Structure 1
């Protein structure tokens, strides 16, 4: 039995609310905010039966977030494997794996077909150009296809909505030789709007392998750098028709280490995504049709003594063409339907594993129906069929119910999911297994949300997830190991969180997740504790001591992780953050992370940064 190292300060808490706060909104019925991800047929918070958290631009700035994964640490139901910049980040939702979470940026599906299981790795994804992050939890394959067993993380970037030109810029420096900065140029003139963002980040170390638990001396500083660009442009061709282009590009360099010792290996990764969209909306806004074409490319090149002299190459390409339509009668019924064609390609040239080129395609169609049979009550049902060029067809479905009465909304959902094996798992010359099939899952939740103006908001969920046919790595296959398909896991737990503003100058927030995760053991012929962290949470207190000034004390805590043969211990880390707005155009900010220089590891043998201090300035004009 595991013991809890930190008791949450707030006992009654809940998942982050799925809406923006407004002093004039006293109930779910009165809210007109839009949630993009949770449903194709409905988008108002009072009608959404799924558990979803929304991270706003204001929250990103208050928490001084540079990398997206750091914002997710404070999100209920989400477990992140690292808080170190540039380090490999595994993002799990409700007991899922990293490859079972679908990432979208402005509608572009992200996923690297050259990775082991077509997963997106969020190591280098930054927050500088983001307007909003929506985290949708639970099986979503009926709407979003493969990779959405755990949920969907949808990122919406900033867009110019006011006439004229605006510039936003930020610069920061701090411990470990950290330099971080970026600038955005936004503009709008009549029917045309645009944004262009440039960013850069670097630090000098310390060692990626923790010298305190290393099996051999680990003193080398492991540097990391990143720079990139992103942008979007939109044109209102007519009152009913809009076109836009979105995209980003990033170039990164990371030092690598062995599990318990230094290594001279390095990796350079270049990735880009681009999409073109056309959106038609009828004059009465009842009918909307969206056509999207996108491409995501990730190219990784590994250097070191174990790789080819020119580097081991992995290059993955994901192309998607999607059509989505929605018709809302404004009354009893809303309908949504669509389809997509997705093609994945992997090119690999390596020293040990060999070379291969492979591709696979998937055609899909879905439909969703929303019913409003009574005041405050919304029912949705969705179904999807995917036709994979290798596995044939598989279907998924999902249903939700939401009932909003004044400041309270009750909700529940249930659905199934599927995850296709990756091209590497199938076709790698050394480790691949061409007989793998799609993984299956089912899961659901039940919960409630409360919204009392801008003074109190809360949400709570009980959830469960079952997975079968899981693909796993097994070292006993052949001479070098390989992939097999037999795994079964199950998870259930509670997501809790709270935001309370009892005084105009005081805000208290709390998130907490408890997850019981078990894996089936053939040897024992029963399910056994997998050793994953059972709890994680964040407690924060923010005060406004004077005009323009804001200070936050934050505690992040997590259970130990014994899911591998190398275990970590439970920990709690205290951070202090502050900012001061000099005027409407200039803001100073700074933070001290790990204030008491606590030794901890989020992943076994991986070094965290210790007590660190950073300071910077934001300007806008």
Structure 2
């Protein structure tokens, strides 16, 4: 009865929000087409704007319309509904600091994250994985997801793919402002304000948002004593993009992304902790210069990416049981040239330099602290890359590229891309992609207390093969695509733990190999002007062996099978409706009880979400986002809670 009352109350709130004054909505409310056809323009696949028909790679786009219909969500929640992506932990408590993005089943940290085309990492973390929850959804224009190995254009860490988060840019219109207010389950609330437009030759895009919640205990109360405390979460984010047109050919863009996240944490799986707090800050700052050639463009990027984390566990007696202070810094310089050489040959070429270091301090009780200093925990990598793109040869396209890398610890290596595709009748594309990727061990794996005792940790080397087809069966009405892939990794870095053997040993070492393969199917239909339907299926299978050839556990928290669909319809110019469904298959997870490692099976589950939106007058939009409407009970991480039925309702007001 309580569940039904909650759902009814939520629907009642949405109904109030959707009451219309009878005015017509703008066309953007009715734009539900996800733009998945071959005419869609993408930039991440080749670092220059091209139609998907010309690109022989798997690229998926979360459009600005989809972002607008996701104001009650986080970026991990949005990505979790993309074929081939499992964002494990996206539906845990907001206060939980742990979550992992798995693209095509690859380990955390093997997907490179870009902000406006510039790589970002977390140099103080174990895997270099960047926390995407730190980027507020209202600061994002669109997201491009490039699947498969792409180290030739983007360097280290682009093993399973690349996710390019494109933030909101200044428009050429006069300055206007917007305000977003939301409230929902678990005391969740958000306030956001944005300013966008141009004054003369100067463009400004500014966004600030605050998000807070007081949900439930991050850890699961297995005993059922109901004495675990509720863990709160608070986030402040700021985004600034500025553009200055210095001349007809030269422009300069500045980009600042700042996020502060703090809250309560727990002691681990099934372990409550009432006084464990954290404070984490992400800073990204970059400047980009663009010079337009007669035919082509030169782009230069300079950026800094810094992440700092502070954890404090202070028991009732006032003593400091655990203190952790970490900071990781990455500086990067990138020079890139895109130049058509002939009507059928285009050149992409550039140089890149990246330097990383980390300071880390951790002390438990009165034990000697573990300390890493940036003068020791550091590395740098220099690269030069070239990719030639053959086009306008009937329906034949070919990308052929290579990248030479010099790492301060590991010396020289080379990665390549061979990517032919053919377009039949400008509607049916077939493609093949063979590529290699390089991922150096992280600073934590190399220098922490868990570093390899022999000091011979080697980088991971990966070969990836993709083949598939992308068919516009009915132009702009029905699209089907299918991809098979295989990813072969040698010297993959694994965490070794000698269970039940004293003295206990815990350190990082190289496994012998990892062999992953999979299949992705997607169908996108737009049968009516106001109706859009998408269906997808993903299968992933992997096998890992240690240095002796013995099979070891692989694909933790990653399902072999996942399936999803979404359907959007605009009933009128006043009301649009969207449903999303996802099935996540059986997975295996591990957790620790003291020094004992436990393995547990995680059952499959399904989630159904509903989103409603109305624009009763020109400058006001109401929305309601209802997640897990069937109140499904499920587990993403062993020993941690997930959200049941919950909703967010809000208003967006545009000030012109």
1:511 shift after superposition: 2.4
Please name the residue that 1:470 is paired with. Answer: 492
1:504 shift after superposition: 3.0
Residue among 392, 399, 402 paired with 2:411: 392
What is the count of residue pairs matched by the alignment?
A: 594
Q: Do structure 1's residue 245 and structure 2's residue 254 form an aligned pair? A: yes
Cα distance 1:42–1:380, how it changes in 2: closer, same or farther (>3 A)?
A: farther
1: CA distance, partners of 2:41 / 2:532:
25
Q: Give the conservation status (yes or no) of the 8 Å contact 1:372–1:378.
A: yes
Please name the residue that 1:191 is paired with. Answer: 201
Please name the residue that 2:483 is paired with. Answer: 461
Q: Give the conservation status (yes or no) of the 8 Å contact 1:146–1:418.
A: yes
Please name the residue that 1:266 is paired with. Answer: 277
Please name the residue that 1:481 is paired with. Answer: 506
Q: Which moved more, 1:494-503 or 1:290-299?
A: 494-503
Cα distance 1:74–1:530, how it changes in 2: closer, same or farther (>3 A)?
A: closer
Q: Do structure 1's residue 589 and structure 2's residue 623 form an aligned pair? A: yes
CA displacement, residues 431-469 of structure 1 (integer Å, 9 cap, x when unaligned) = 455321111111121112233444223322111111110
Q: Give the conservation status (yes or no) of the 8 Å contact 2:72–2:649.
A: no
Task: For 1:13-32, list aligned pairs within 5 A.
Answer: 28=38, 31=39
Residue among 41, 50, 53 paired with 2:60: 53
Cα distance 1:563–1:62, how it changes in 2: closer, same or farther (>3 A)?
A: same
Please name the residue that 2:164 is paired with. Answer: 154
Task: For 1:225-236, list aligned pairs within 5 A.
Answer: 225-236=234-245
Q: Do structure 1's residue 599 and structure 2's residue 633 form an aligned pair? A: yes
2: CA distance, partners of 1:566 / 1:605:
10
1:119 shift after superposition: 2.4
Report the secondary structure of 1:58's partner residue.
helix
Task: For 1:371-450, list aligned pairs within 5 A.
Answer: 371-372=390-391, 374-405=393-424, 406-429=426-449, 431=451, 433=453, 434-450=455-471
1: CA distance, partners of 2:539 / 2:137:
27
Q: TM-score, normalised to structure 2's length?
A: 0.86
Report the secondary structure of 1:203's partner residue.
strand
Q: TM-score, normalised to structure 1's length?
A: 0.91
Residue among 515, 536, 549 paired with 2:540: 515
**Gap regions ≥5 residues in structure 1:** 1-20
Q: Give the conservation status (yes or no) of the 8 Å contact 2:141–2:168.
A: yes
1: CA distance, partners of 2:415 / 2:358:
26
Task: For 1:178-577, list aligned pairs within 5 A.
Answer: 178-211=188-221, 213=222, 219-257=228-266, 258-263=268-273, 264-283=275-294, 286-305=295-314, 311-329=323-341, 331-352=343-364, 354-357=370-373, 358-372=377-391, 374-405=393-424, 406-429=426-449, 431=451, 433=453, 434-451=455-472, 452-476=474-498, 479-520=504-545, 525=550, 530=555, 532-564=558-590, 565-577=599-611
Q: Give the conservation status (yes or no) of the 8 Å contact 2:254–2:287.
A: yes
Report the secondary structure of 2:481's partner residue.
strand
1: CA distance, partners of 2:198 / 2:644:
44
Please name the residue that 1:7 is paired with. Answer: none
1:489 shift after superposition: 1.6
Q: Do structure 1's residue 36 and structure 2's residue 43 form an aligned pair? A: yes
Q: Give the conservation status (yes or no) of the 8 Å contact 2:123–2:357.
A: yes
Q: Give the conservation status (yes or no) of the 8 Å contact 2:261–2:280.
A: yes
1: CA distance, partners of 2:49 / 2:465:
19
1: CA distance, partners of 2:493 / 2:260:
31
Report the secondary structure of 2:617's partner residue.
coil
2: CA distance, partners of 1:224 / 1:481:
32
Cα distance 1:499–1:169, how it changes in 2: closer, same or farther (>3 A)?
A: farther
2: CA distance, partners of 1:250 / 1:529:
33
Report the secondary structure of 2:635's partner residue.
coil
1:311 shift after superposition: 3.1
2: CA distance, partners of 1:503 / 1:107:
35
Q: Give the conservation status (yes or no) of the 8 Å contact 1:215–1:260.
A: no
CA displacement, residues 50-93 of structure 1 (integer Å, 9 cap, x when unaligned) = 10101111012224453211111111121110233353221111
Cα distance 1:395–1:613, how it changes in 2: closer, same or farther (>3 A)?
A: same
1: CA distance, partners of 2:37 / 2:380:
45
1:393 shift after superposition: 1.0
Cα distance 1:165–1:26, how it changes in 2: closer, same or farther (>3 A)?
A: closer
1: CA distance, partners of 2:314 / 2:602:
30
Report the secondary structure of 1:38's partner residue.
coil
1:591 shift after superposition: 2.3
1:298 shift after superposition: 0.3
Q: Give the conservation status (yes or no) of the 8 Å contact 2:105–2:555.
A: no
2: CA distance, partners of 1:362 / 1:42:
27
Please name the residue that 2:12 is paired with. Answer: none
CA displacement, residues 543-587 of structure 1 (integer Å, 9 cap, x when unaligned) = 222222012222121012114313311001222211111122111
Report the secondary structure of 1:99's partner residue.
coil
CA displacement, residues 366-421 of structure 1 (integer Å, 9 cap, x when unaligned) = 11011137212110111111111111111111111122222222222110111101
Report the secondary structure of 2:414's partner residue.
strand
Q: Do structure 1's residue 95 and structure 2's residue 105 form an aligned pair? A: yes
2: CA distance, partners of 1:290 / 1:215:
58
